[in-house]
Amino acid sequence: MTDKLILYKEHLNSFLRKITKGFELIAPVRNTYGDTLFEVISSVDDVRIDLTNRPILSPKRFFMPQVETLFAYRYDKSGYTFKDAADSTPRVIFGLRSCDTRGILFYDLIFQEGLKDKYYLDRRKDTILINLGCNQPGENCFCKSAQSGPFLTYGYDIQLTDLGDRFFVENGRPRGRELLAGWSYFFRPATQTDIDAQYEVVLESEGKFRHRLDFDAAIEKLINQEVAPAIWEELGSRCQNCGGCAYVCPTCYCFNIFDSPGSEKEGERLRTWDACTFAGFSRLAGGYNPRQDKAQRIKRRFYHKLFYDKQKYNIPSCVGCGRCADICFGRIDMLSFIRLICEQKERALAPAHRRLGELLLEAGIISRKDLDLAIEKQAATGKPLGAQLVEMGMVDKEAIARALGCQLKIPGTAENIED
């Protein structure tokens, strides 16, 4: 079977019905409240599969449930007995967005290293991923900047591209090829016209992003510890500690484990989602917490996702889905954070300009009205405030040099003023 196929949309539901015969099918469904969520589908004809809107939540709960039983235990005269609660149901997740598929690939790295997590791996090994490239990026999406979309070049079992009346279908991995081969009568080989059309869709989609972030510049600032302490304090003061950013993130995997006794002789060991921004997450035995305040915990979160994961896995653990920007009302999301630290130099310069202005005001060289006009003009020209004042004829170079020299206790020279 060729690696590039065409599936006409009129055949999609028939193909999905076939899938439900041998797999648990999970797909994005639009519910009665207008929200699109990944759901288990028992009957394709009873739901509204939504391939237009990106699901509100990633599908990570199907691999690591928000609350899951790891095992049940029972105690009697002979001691403890345990009953494993592993889940190895064969699944097909249809309609994954590229950011979510990349999130699952990141989970693969996390849960396969060191002591392998059998609960995750049992669910993952029999799951087929069908990716749907994004023709139209969402309002807060920046997956192109994160190099995780809008279309994938690897990591999927099957990838679809919407060409209007048909889907362009790509085989990625052997199990995807096997799935397609089982119902090959739904597909035809792609022609050169189809291949050209798919190429155009990819190019058009890449040009539609509203947000373009410089991840490398942000990571460099973290490596060099160039983020001003005041920024961490500001972020800490804005965080409401709701944990929403971690819960919607496709790559966040912090968890807590505890026992839930049903009686004196039996109970369950549970694993639940947690968040590194919660105070209790970093609290140690004995009660000591190395990250007492929110600013410290937020700093750790961004360092972890951008710097530490880049250092360890060669990729940051942000896939650019933009869900944290959708949910955070304190604007402490990845989109806002990267912009904030990349623009901090310009932000830091502003007070210096104001100090120069105040200095000239105190010396009686300019008026408040003159200063306000110069700052307004400077916002458009980008010139240093001193040069802007000189250009507007409000002051000469010698006067500025004298004022600065007085403040810095050095002889003033007009040559120090930029033209």
pLDDT of residue 345: 59
Distance CA(279)–CA(124), nearest Å, equals 31
- Rounded Cα distance between 274 and 283, Å, is 13
Mean pLDDT on 317-341:
95
Span 198-210, average pLDDT? 96
Q: What is the pLDDT of residue 71?
A: 96
User: pLDDT tens, 106-126?
Assistant: 999 999 998 899 999 999 999
- Minimum mean pLDDT among 115-119, 208-212, 286-290, 333-337: which range? 286-290
Alpha helices in 307-367 (DSSP H): 309-313, 323-327, 334-342, 344-362
Cβ-based burial of 248 (10 A; exposed 0-12, middle 13-18, buried ≥19) = buried
Span 158-170, average pLDDT: 98
* Cβ-based neighbour number of residue 369 at 10 Å: 9
Q: Does the CA dihedral 229-234-237-241 come out positive or negative?
A: negative
Q: Can you tell me the mean pLDDT for 216-240?
A: 92
pLDDT of residue 404: 63
The residue ranking higher by pLDDT, 350 or 368, is 368
Q: What is the pLDDT of residue 415?
A: 43
24-30 and 91-96: which strand pairing?
parallel
pLDDT at 405: 60
pLDDT at residue 193 above 80?
A: yes
- pLDDT given for residue 282 in this prediction: 87
- Banded model confidence at residue 329, pLDDT cuts 50, 70, 90: confident
List b or e across 104-135, with b for residues whose CB sees 16 or more CB atoms inside 10 angstroms. Answer: bbbbeebbeeeeebebbeebbeebbbbbbbbb
Averaged over 24-29, what is the pLDDT?
Answer: 98
pTM: 0.80
- What mean pLDDT comes out for the span 67-79? 95
Mean pLDDT value across residues 114-141: 95
The average pLDDT across 250-256 equals 97
Q: Which residue has the higher pLDDT, 329 or 22?
A: 22
> Is pLDDT above 50 for 419?
no
- Which range, of 17-26, 188-197, 286-295, 329-338, averages the lowest pLDDT? 286-295
Segment 378-387 shows an average pLDDT of: 70
Please write the tens of the pLDDT for every residue from 148-162. Answer: 999 999 999 999 999
Taking the C-alpha atoms of residue 311 and residue 314, their distance in angstroms, rounded to an integer, is: 6
CA gap 102, 123 in Å, rounded: 17
271 Rama class: left (phi>0) / alpha (psi -120 to 50) / beta: beta
Tell me the per-residue pLDDT of 400-415, one tens digit each, with 9 for 90 and over. 777 666 655 444 444 4
User: What is the percent of the chain with per-residue pLDDT over 90, rounded to a whole number?
Assistant: 74
Cα 179 from Cα 183, distance rounded (Å): 7
Place 371 in a pLDDT band, splitting at 50, 70 and 90. Answer: confident
Bridge partners of 91, per DSSP, are 24, 127
CA dihedral 372, 377, 381, 382 (to 10 degrees): 10
pLDDT-derived band at 416, boundaries 50, 70, 90? very low
Q: What is the mean pLDDT of residues 84-91?
A: 89
- Calpha distance 43→32 (Å, rounded): 17
Task: Give me the pLDDT at residue 394, please.
Answer: 85
Mean pLDDT of the 41-55 span: 94
pLDDT of residue 340: 93
* 209 pLDDT tier (thresholds 50, 70, 90): very high
Dihedral sign, Cα of residue 242, residue 246, residue 226, residue 344: negative
Computed over every residue of the chain, the mean pLDDT equals: 90
Lookup: tokens for 39: 């759901």
Mean of the pLDDT values across residues 352-356? 56
pLDDT (tens digit per residue) in 337-349: 999 999 875 555 4
Reported as a pLDDT band with limits 50, 70 and 90, residue 168 is very high
